[in-house]
Amino acid sequence: MQQDVTGATATTLRPDAPAGQLPNPGVNLFMYQVTPNSAWINADLPTRSSSGALIQRPVIALDLHYLLTFYGSDANLEPQRVLGSALRTLHARPIITAAMIQATLDAAEVEDPQHFLLGSNLGDDVERVKLTPLPLSLEELSKLWSVLFQTPYSLSVAYVGTVVLLESEQAPQRALPVRVRHISAVPFRRALIERIVDIDPANPLPESIEINDIVELQGSQLDGSVSLVRVGEAQLQPIPDSVRADRMR
pLDDT digits (tens, 9 = 90+) for 146-205: 988 889 999 999 999 999 999 887 777 777 788 888 887 766 667 778 888 777 666 666
Beta strands in 72-120 (DSSP E): 95-96
pLDDT in tens, 212-243: 777 788 888 777 777 777 777 777 888 878 88
- 3-class DSSP state for residue 166? strand
Give the DSSP H/E element, type plus range, for residue 102: helix 98-107
Considering the chain, what percentage of its residues have pLDDT values greater than 70? 90
The structural domains of the chain, with segments of one domain joined by +, span: 9-167, 192-248
Q: What pLDDT does 184 receive?
A: 74
| Of 23-27, 83-87, 154-158, 216-220, the least confident | 216-220
pLDDT in tens, 102-153: 888 887 765 566 677 777 888 888 889 999 999 999 999 999 999 888 899 9
- 3-class DSSP state for residue 145? helix
Single pTM value for the model: 0.65
Q: Which residues pair with 119 in a beta bridge?
A: none
Q: What pLDDT does 198 receive?
A: 73
Can you say whether residue 61 is alpha, beta or left, with left for phi > 0 and alpha for psi between -120 and 50 degrees? beta
* CA 199/CA 237 separation, integer angstroms: 17
Q: Give buried/exposed letters for 154-183 (b at 16+ CB in 10 A, else e).
A: bbbbbbbbbbbbeeeeeeeeeeeeeeeeee
Q: What pLDDT does 202 receive?
A: 66
Q: What pLDDT does 118 receive?
A: 74
Q: What is the chain's mean pLDDT, rounded?
A: 84
Task: Report, as an integer, the average pLDDT of 90-108.
Answer: 89
* Cβ(168)–Cβ(59) below 8 Å: yes
Beta strands in 26-80 (DSSP E): 26-36, 59-71
| Of 39-43, 90-94, 196-200, 216-220, the least confident | 196-200
Peptide linkage before 46 cis (omega within 30 of 0): yes
- Name the band, by pLDDT with cuts 50, 70 and 90, for residue 93: very high
